[in-house]
Every structure is written in C-alpha cells, then in structure tokens.
C-alpha cells in the first residue's frame, strides 16, 4: 500500500455494505463500493492509498482490450452468423461421441464466459467464442456437453472431457491468449 497521494478519478456506488471495495472494470472504469454513510474524505483516502493497485489493474485491463478489441457491428453480426451455422453441428458431432444431447442451444453476447449449461441442459455459447481458434471452440463445445452429465468441475467431469479430447488442457490454454 502506498502513501496517500492524488486521488484517481472513480465512480462511487453506495449501498448497505460495511466495507470499501475497489474494482477496475473491463472498460477501464474505476468503481468504489462504499457504505451509505461513510464520509467522502475517507473514501478518497482509501482510493489514494490504493493508487498503485489501481494503476496496475488499469494497465492489465487496457492490455486485454488492446489484445482483443471490441469488434465492429459488421464483425459482430458475422460472428453471430458463424456461431449459428457452426456450433449446432459441432454440438451434434461431439454430443454423439459422448452420448449427450442438450435440450437446446442459444447464442448470446456474454462477455465473461464462452459457454454455459443450464440445470435443464440447455447450452449457451457466446458469439465471442468465434474469435478463437477452431481447437478452442471445439474444447468449449465438449466442456459444455460434459456439464450435461457432470454439473461441476470435479475429476469425473474432466475425465468425461478427456475421453473425447485428451489434449483439452492445451486447447483451454488457447482461450487465455
């Protein structure tokens, strides 16, 4: 923690909480969550004491944004179209290999997860997944199908994934680049 200095710009969100919290959002905004009645000078002091942390996390978020900028509207539409064309056949292919069938498939604009499987076995994929290599896309399909059988990330879940995709760890790494 550095000594109090200049207070960086931030957005203040007050609520019925007891503690202060800092967040740097993916769009590089600094959010401060604070108790309703906490004095503004104490919030400013808290932020000033964390300027180094804020700077580090702003740099990380900016680096992420620079690495994968938000697509244009035309690109977004192309990714959605591609997802709608390519993902259902992949789900059918891998589902047949695994003996698993989802109750449905949805394409979303989720920003924080590439896929999800509902308790009723409906699989959602983010169109953003289509920005990644084919091997990574296939991994997410198998990963979500495995959730039909295993609703957690335990050893049985990964054994299920590995039966169809022994190199799943390498494929998962592609999503982090």
Checking if the pLDDT of 3 tops 50, the result is no
Checking if the pLDDT of 4 tops 60, the result is no
**pLDDT digits over 140-158, tens only?**
999 999 999 999 999 999 9
Domain borders along the chain are 11-67, 73-174
Closest CA to 144 of 163, 131, 130, 160: 160
Q: Please tell me the predicted confidence (pLDDT) of residue 5.
A: 54
**pLDDT digits over 24-54, tens only?**
998 889 999 999 999 999 999 999 999 999 9
Sheet holding 115-117, edge to edge: 104-108, 122-126, 115-117
pTM above 0.75, yes or no: no
pLDDT (average), residues 89-111: 96
**DSSP code of residue 121:** -
Residue 24: strand pairing partners: 30
Checking if the pLDDT of 6 tops 80, the result is no
Third-level CATH fold of 73-174: Zincin-like (3.30.2010)
Q: Which two structure tokens, joined as six digits, stand for 67?
A: 């690495």
Contact present, 48 and 6 (Cβ < 8 Å): yes
Checking if the pLDDT of 71 tops 80, the result is yes
């Amino acid at each position: 923690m550095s000594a109090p200095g200049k207070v960086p710009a931030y957005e203040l969100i007050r609520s019925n909480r007891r503690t202060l919290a800092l967040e740097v959002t993916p769009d590089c905004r600094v959010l401060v969550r604070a108790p309703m009645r906490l004095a503004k000078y104490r919030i400013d002091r808290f932020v000033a004491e964390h300027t180094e942390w804020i700077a580090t996390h702003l740099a990380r978020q900016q680096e992420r944004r620079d690495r994968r900028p938000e697509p244009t509207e035309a690109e977004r539409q192309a990714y959605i179209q591609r997802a709608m064309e390519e993902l259902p056949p992949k789900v059918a292919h891998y589902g047949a290999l695994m003996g698993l069938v989802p109750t449905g498939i949805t394409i979303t604009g989720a920003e924080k997860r590439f896929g999800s499987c509902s308790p009723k076995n409906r699989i959602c994929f983010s169109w953003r997944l289509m920005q990644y290599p084919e091997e990574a896309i296939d991994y997410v399909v198998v990963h979500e199908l495995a959730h039909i059988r295993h609703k957690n990330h335990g050893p049985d879940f990964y054994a299920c994934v590995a039966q169809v995709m022994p190199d799943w760890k390498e494929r998962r790494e592609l999503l982090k680049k």
